[in-house]
Structure 1
Amino acid sequence: MSKQGKVALVVGAQGVIGRNLIDHLSTRDDWQVIGLSRRGGTDEGRVQHIAVDLLDIDDTRAKLGKLDQVTHVFYAAYQDRSSWAELVPPNVAMLTNVLDAIEAVAPRLEHISLMQGYKVYGGHLGPFKTPARETDAAFMPPEFMHDQQRLLEQRQQGRAWSWSAIRPAVVGGFALGNPMNLALAIAVYASISKELGLPLRFPGKPGAYDRLLEMTDAGLLARATVWAATEPRCANQAFNITNGDLFRWNEMWPFIADYFGLELAPPLPLSLDTVMADKEPLWHAMGERHGLAPHAYAEVSSWRFADFVFSWDYDMFGDGSKARRYGFHEHVETKAMFARLFDDFRRRKIIP
């Protein structure tokens, strides 16, 4: 790695957020990029990949011990668990291990960016105050995102580096094998519905069809994340980052049905995690018939996450005006985002 310019360490490089962040940084001549993930990746141009187990302290120190030129850490790693309380130890431990390893060797470290979400506001627990604002009070723990931010706040005291906390809504982007990929789950659900000659039904809870929510385009999120990490006024601040528009599934679902050439039928509550569990043989048959890329069914299935999002029978949106006041003015129309992502899935032969 060059001793000149900025060097980004993207932690969680194979997820929706990390992949798009690397794509964005790789277009900028003043950045070199190191991506960390459990799977690793293929080095290309100014992008280097490292496979590492961040829960293993020794492996983390060994793999990160020579990264002395890192100037910016973009932390988007996540370990899933079956309960909210169980999420805390591994997700705090991974961030701690990264900080311990990098601070020990990187004297040029300028900024640490922490990826969060609306769990900060309790959006995963039930109805909460909307629009959510960055100044909203915390709630009764456990919540690993609160613990991670407190870790950064306490650790930053007396240090030369600064931090930022980025809070997107549901992120729309491309990644395979990711447990939180709503757009891909919708695309696969719609494709299988079409294969079976079924109309498209919204499978969520009664009431979720009519509630207000928002999303965050992964490309827009990447640009906002780098902006916050390099704009001095954003130091030690949190920002909600969203597309800038609100929608209801009752208007988005007809649009999705039309995109896939499907009839629309009334909503019917379904657990996608349950009803899609036996569809793997069908998916493989579709792959052969339509010439799809040879990806495992598990790589394109985010059913638990889709069920989670479709269970929100309450409004789910935040106030994005703080980022605009600080100078970030980009926006994306969510319908256009869905259409672009579906087009991309087809181009990559992920769906028919």
Structure 2
Amino acid sequence: MPPEFNVDQQDFLEQRQKGKAWTWSALRPSVVCGFSIGNPMNLAMVIAIYASISKELGLPLRFPGKPGAYDSLLEMTDAGLLAKATVWAATEERCANQAFNITNGDLFRWNELWPKIAQYFGLETAPPLPMFLDVVMADKEHLWNKMVEKHGLAQHSYKDVSSWGFGDFVFSWNYDFFADGTKARRLGFHEYVDTEVMFMNIFDDFRKRKVIP
């Protein structure tokens, strides 16, 4: 595996900053969710399009991840929360030359959240079925284009609203995955977001903007 590019970037900044008047701050989010079209790393969009197509096909909403991922603990980062943290880190002197984990502040399991997502989309759930979305959704572009016309959706290409490879990546985490956000809280950043509410708000935004039916 190659090294993480963002670690190299921080190392570069640390070296460049020595003896300089300017400072840097690094923020380390979890999976960032928000409204974005054409973003290849948008899990909320993955779920929304997957659920919308499942409904169009009359299928239940199955969790597609690896065995174990459905029951593992994980966390997310709301894009708005990350924006607030960015302003905070840039204006709080104690954040100079520091790195911070920035997450919503809660943990969840897909086995608890997935049925609520299905309910939002008016779908039944079924037992998890491990599959690669990048494969099973590859032939759904024609169906999506028909859905755009049928439901009067915004004219976004299938490519711009699907990032199946990233969904496969996140849904493969069959282990607990979360970070320690104590450092940011200790220095005064106390914002948090309820992850379930975050997803529902993002889905509402997708509907309002005619991205999904």
What interval of TM-score do these two structures reach, taking the shorter chain for normalisation?
over 0.9
After superposition, what is the alpha-carbon deviation per residue over 1:2-61, rounded to whole angstroms, capped at 9, x for unaligned? xxxxxxxxxxxxxxxxxxxxxxxxxxxxxxxxxxxxxxxxxxxxxxxxxxxxxxxxxxxx
2:157 maps to 1:288: no
1:229 to 68, 90, 107: 90
Tell me what 1:299 maps to: 160
Q: Which has the higher contact order (CA 8 A, sep 6+)?
A: 2
How far apart, CA to CA, are the structure 1 residues paired with 2:9 and 2:90? 17
Task: Give identity over the alignment, percent.
Answer: 76
2:30 maps to 1:162: no
After superposition, what is the alpha-carbon deviation per residue over 1:209-230, rounded to whole angstroms, capped at 9, x for unaligned? 0000000110011001110111
Q: Which has the larger radius of gyration?
A: 1
Q: SS of the counterpart of 1:336?
A: helix
The amino acid across from 2:173 in the alignment is: W
- 5+ residue gaps in structure 1? 1-83, 86-141
User: Counterparts in 2 of 1:215-294, with a 5 A limit?
Assistant: 215-294=76-155
2:32 maps to 1:171: yes
How far apart, CA to CA, are the structure 2 residues paired with 1:160 and 1:230? 15
Q: SS of the counterpart of 2:73?
A: coil
Task: Give 1:143 deviation, angstroms.
Answer: 2.2
The amino acid across from 2:58 in the alignment is: G
1:152 to 13, 28, 31: 13
The amino acid across from 1:156 in the alignment is: Q
Give the RMSD, CA atoms, in angstroms.
0.7
How far apart, CA to CA, are the structure 2 residues paired with 1:321 and 1:232? 18
2:173 to 312, 318, 321: 312
2:191 maps to 1:191: no
Task: Give 1:325 deviation, angstroms.
Answer: 0.3
Task: Give 1:144 deviation, angstroms.
Answer: 1.2
The amino acid across from 1:166 in the alignment is: L
How far apart, CA to CA, are the structure 2 residues paired with 1:288 and 1:233? 52
How far apart, CA to CA, are the structure 2 residues paired with 1:173 and 1:143? 23
In terms of fraction of residues, the more helix-rich structure is 2
Tell me what 2:63 maps to: 202
Task: Give 1:303 deviation, angstroms.
Answer: 0.3
The amino acid across from 1:151 in the alignment is: F
2:191 maps to 1:324: no
| Equivalent residue pairs, number | 213
Q: SS of the counterpart of 2:125?
A: coil
User: Counterparts in 2 of 1:63-212, with a 5 A limit?
Assistant: 85=2, 142-212=3-73
Q: SS of the counterpart of 2:77?
A: strand
With the length of structure 2 as denominator, give the TM-score of the two structures. 0.99
Tell me what 1:348 maps to: 209
